[in-house]
Structure 1
Amino acid sequence: MTHSAPAPATAVPLPHARRDVRLFWWAGTCDALGSQTSGFVLPLLLLSLGRSPAEVGAIAGLSAAATLVLGPFAAVPADRGARKQVMVGAALVSAVAMTGVTVAVAVGPVPLAVLLAAVLVERCATACYEAASLGTVALVCPPQQHRRVLSRLQAGERGALVVGPALGGLLFAAGAWLPFLVDALSYAVAAGGIRAMRSDLSPSREQRPPAGTRGTWRALLTEAGAGVALLRREPFLRLVLVWLSAVNALLVALYYTTVFALQDHGRGPAPLGLVLALSGAAGLAGALAAPRLARRHSAAQVLVPVSWLLVPPAAALAVARDAWQFGLLLGLLCFLTPSATVALQARILHLTPPGLQARTGTLLATASGAAAALAPALAGLSADRAGAGATLTGCAVLLALLALYATCVAPQFTRGTGEETA
């Protein structure tokens, strides 16, 4: 039996599509750069104000929880046709919140309640922006360009991950308020970029949910969870859910365990910076190379070899000692994952109806984000009890099990152009 889903079509003329893709890329990259710039220095600011590490961790955890909870609800109006309005409004709210933080830090000692309120508002608005942005690619470019556009978007995010923390550190040294001003400006640029896009980023009326279901909390919850029903119908999406959640969690666990291992070996912050630089640069290179590596193969065909290739460098981390070794191995992992991620994202866009793009994407992002949020605590607990080497070995074993699962499940979705079969 062949499951066919309509490939999202776009009515935007090609010149407009190219312009919209460029604007969407600039909006997302500026947003990511600003967030990385301020996010890197926020813990430093809190610690400089006399807050304990426990309080800093609690604020980070509360912000992450708000993001995971709000995303599915913000996806509902986006799929109903208000994608552009949600994104522009959320970016402007984030800009105002970060402007408030900038002023508060510049004026003088910042009350924790004020800072916490502003950060939570910014995180909630960002969650709405990210949820609404999912599926935009399917509405502004034809399917044959999805992988190329997705890889460029991921390259922009990876580049921001490399540049943002360094920029944040330099600005923080010059003035504690400067990183937050950059973040506020980045949100304003993002809002302007989305507003300037000529398409309305809306699915056709017949592809939206029926209007009669609106009006109650139960109806809102039902709509927010509509992606779950699609997930139940589409076995390929279930494979994606398992793979993305596991890989994200294990990569985060490997990173944090690497930090613990470097500390055990008596390494300081400079080696950790080397590890971050190498892995970030490798991730950027992997995102740029992803379309060429996956152009002639279906998502399922890309997934299996990438899954197995992740195992050797993860296992080698257990015997690494020097920072350059950790950086090289983590960099190899970061280089490999974008090929599979981009191929999977392109296939998701093909399988998901336009009226469910935001909710389905948010469901997958929430699941993988929740798994990644638990990974540091689990890695720390394992490192305390079994040691960093044993924890790294355990992660490699779990990656091998994931590769075995992908090997057993993925072939049923491979036929010809990659249409799934069962």
Structure 2
Amino acid sequence: MRIRTAGVVTVLGLALAASGCGGDNSKDEPAAKATSPAASGKLVIWADDKRTAALKPFAEKFGQENGVTVEVQAVSKDLQTNFVTASQQGSGPDVVVGAHDWIGNLVQNGAIDPVQLAAEQKSGFNETAIKAVTFNGQLYGVPYATENVALIRNTALAPEAPKTIEELVATGKKLKAEKKASEILCLQSGQNGDAYHIYPLYTSAGGYLFGTAANGDYDPKDLGVGKPESIEAFTKIGKLGEKGDGALKRSITGENSIATFTGKKCAFLVSGPWAIADAKKAGISYDISPVPGFAGGKAAQPFVGVQAFYVAAKGKNKALAQEFVTNYVTTPELAVALYQAEPRPPALTAAFDQVKGTDPDLAKFSEAGKDGQVLPAIPAMAAIWDPFGKAEAAVIGGADPAKTVTAAGKTISGQIK
């Protein structure tokens, strides 16, 4: 999440390269009562380090109530890739915790099963979160948190939230002239770009990634990259770049963007809830508002991501795994514990309402993402990240927008076909 696209490129790229046969031909284990011998054995859950710690006490409680052993195993790196590989080898977990934009790839690899939530259960979740974990008309995960970027600003340097990106640039230039900041804006790009963080500006300037089909799903056949709208968007982004206003720089990376902000070298940071702990630690007086768009342009729409629980298609205890994700993950107690492990807006409305009173940042991030676009979970998205990011970095560095974006569109289109 801190270095969002790099992880997605690596994971999606490797997982797609490693893809094998799709479906699961094994028969489901019988749905047994918790106390019967069929429910004995282990329920294995894979998650990252932070979520593992939060999950363990709840997993133990679930195990005691159902007469089974529940193991929560931390997978620190390349969780999605490792899961796909282990699934194909028959050595994977029963439940895995990860981002919603894995779904297309996991379904394509036959690695996860649909989950069954009652209508009443579904209605207890944020609507966008449910939409994010729905793929080809089926629910494939139980969401527990949402995330999106917003504009985080140092209120000592910039008391007012800018209404447009032009207003932000003007304030940033003034602070630089007064030697109060060394950068106009901290929006990570690096030498390879960062599609995730630039996306609000791309949409405000009229660009899009994929069109939508009649049912509202993303349509991989309608690629926006390389079309006139994307050229216009990249032209505007280029004017903010190194040979223009200097607001966007390749020297601002996933590794240093937050530190540059907490070091008071820039007044404005485009980032997500994961940046707040560092801002608090540094004693920064901050506020959160939506990423501003271009004057006269469309609203800036960030990607909205969702974290979710999935049932492994080739797990050894599938009935119990379904029970865990549908009737246990859906409780406010677990959602609040996961929020406390890493504060992101809970997808479960009851949990969100429980914590919002003590954390005003939650409502601000949710407000910043309310008109956002669900990060595409279709397999074709894997073809976007690298060419789009490299095109962005090139344009920020002064490359011709039309030639650069047209070439990126051809590369992406070729990979999708």
Normalised-by-shorter TM-score class: under 0.3
Q: Under a length normalisation based on structure 1, what TM-score does the superposition of the two structures give?
A: 0.23
Q: Per residue, is there more helix in 1 or in 2? A: 1
